[in-house]
Structure 1
Amino acid sequence: MKKNNHLTPFESLLTEKYGEPGASKRDEFEKKAKAFVIGELLKEERKQAKLTQEELASRIGAKKSYISKIENGKTDIQVTLHPKHPHLSFPHQD
């Protein structure tokens, strides 16, 4: 197979667009990316458990709209949900 030497590494693309790791723009991008991943994991697990957003919210003492925000990456679950509900387990995202 012929090697394509014109490919740009993903890390280089991130650095070009968002700056070096530790830059505020890069940190904000990574925070949003993690929120998206965690939201997708929550949605997948909730559906496998055959729960609606409303049922999950009721079980953890939250509102359906809050679960929706998490699943859509609109809130940071690491800051808001996890400390209140340490029994919920999510893969560590570093």
Structure 2
Amino acid sequence: MKTKNDLKCLDQFIEEQYGTKRTAKRAALENGFESFKLGILLQQARIQKGMTQEELAAKSGTNKGYISKIENDIKEVRLSTLKKIVEIGLGGRLELSIKL
């Protein structure tokens, strides 16, 4: 039986399972998470705008299946396409940053 003392915070678990930052295994995990997060952010923005995947696709010049694959982390999206989806489809602004 697990006790409260056996619990680990997420950072501890990740470090034990995937290594420290900047290792190949950890980088793969973090890259995968960023892709997953992008899909969730897109889905939340679409829902907030009261749009269906089909409506967003039509407005941004793509198709419903493509929007679905991005939202469900099945397909990677090109930056130029993401920009169209966010700016034309959702009427928003895409912001990027680089952290070293």
Query: TM-score, with normalisation over the residues of structure 2?
Result: 0.68
Q: Which of 66, 80, 89 is 2:93 aligned to?
A: 89
TM-score w.r.t. length of structure 1: 0.71
Within-5 A mapping of 1:1-94: 6-77=6-77, 80=78, 82-84=79-81, 85=83, 87=87, 88-89=92-93
Letter in 2 for 1:26: R
CA distance, structure 1, for counterparts of residue 10 and residue 51 of structure 2: 36
Structure 2 CA distance, aligned partners of 1:40 and 1:91?
16
> In terms of mean alpha carbon deviation, does 15-24 or 84-93 score higher?
84-93
Q: In structure 2, give the amino acid aligned to 1:61.
A: G
| Count of residue correspondences | 88
Stretches of structure 1 lacking an aligned partner (at least 5 in a row): none
Q: As a proportion of its length, which structure holds more helix?
A: 2
Q: Does the 8 Å contact 1:35/1:75 carry over to 2? A: no
Contact 1:38/1:90 (CA < 8 Å) preserved in 2?
Answer: no
Identity of aligned residues (%): 33
Q: CA RMSD in A?
A: 2.5
